[in-house]
């Protein structure tokens, strides 16, 4: 006989920037991002120093061509505004549950969509690229310091798309509880 016991959630206040970082980390995992070094880098680039503005996740086919892209973009001005407000500094989070699921139920649907996309296109590789905040990128000294801190290198170009046409499917989402994080998923419709 199985007995299920409902335990009261342990709601603890967590500062907004840590929630932002943890949600991005959980989403990145759900979107298929390889664990190391990407997830550690997110913590450093978001919580330790607010350097990262955008995370691009590219799904590549057997030829190394992009068939889909997920963009997670942080609006740092919006974040600062919310983090400095009385109601936005901290959010109560149950430490026993996924943070992303407590912020929005839609996140799980977005993850499921990318899982279906990866299966439909037989994705062979997931590449991750980071864009630093404009005020960092535009200052050569700050940019080089950020690259060194995050252990990143610059690239000349992003992966080419498998199709000659631009993506014909685009989904955008931002949660009401974490307004500063925008998510966009782009891809072409799989051929049936």
All structural domains of the chain with their residue ranges: 16-187
Which residues make Cβ contacts (< 8 Å) with residue 27, sequence separation at least 6? 72, 100, 107, 110, 111, 183
Residue 84 dihedral angles phi and psi, to the nearest 5°:
-95, -5
What is the pTM (predicted TM-score) of this model?
0.89
- How many C-beta neighbours within 10 Å does residue 136 have? 20
Q: Report the distance separating Cα 81 and Cα 94, nearest Å.
A: 24
Copy the structure tokens of residue 142: 């700050």
pLDDT, one tens digit per residue, over 26-68 is 999 999 998 767 778 888 999 999 999 999 999 999 999 999 9
Cis link prior to 157 (omega < 30° from 0)?
no
Domain 16-187 has CATH 3.30.900: yes
Confidence of residue 113 (pLDDT cuts 50, 70, 90): very high
């Amino acid at each position: 006989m199985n007995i299920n016991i409902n335990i009261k959630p342990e709601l603890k206040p967590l500062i907004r920037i840590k929630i932002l970082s943890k949600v991005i980390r959980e989403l990145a995992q759900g979107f298929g991002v390889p664990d190391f070094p990407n997830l550690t880098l997110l913590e450093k680039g978001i919580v330790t120093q607010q350097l990262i503005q955008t995370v691009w996740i590219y799904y590549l086919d057997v030829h190394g061509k992009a068939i889909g892209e997920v963009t997670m973009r942080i609006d740092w001005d919006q974040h600062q505004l919310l983090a400095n407000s009385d109601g936005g500094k901290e959010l109560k989070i149950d430490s026993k549950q996924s943070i992303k699921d407590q912020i929005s139920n839609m996140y799980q649907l977005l993850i499921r969509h990318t899982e279906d996309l990866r299966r439909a296109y037989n994705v062979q590789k997931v590449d991750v690229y980071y864009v630093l905040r404009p005020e960092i990128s535009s200052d050569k000294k700050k940019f080089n310091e950020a690259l060194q801190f995050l252990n990143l290198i610059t690239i000349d170009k992003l992966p080419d798309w498998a199709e000659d046409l631009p993506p014909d499917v685009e989904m955008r989402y931002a949660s009401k509880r974490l307004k500063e994080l925008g998510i966009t998923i782009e891809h072409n419709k799989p051929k049936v």
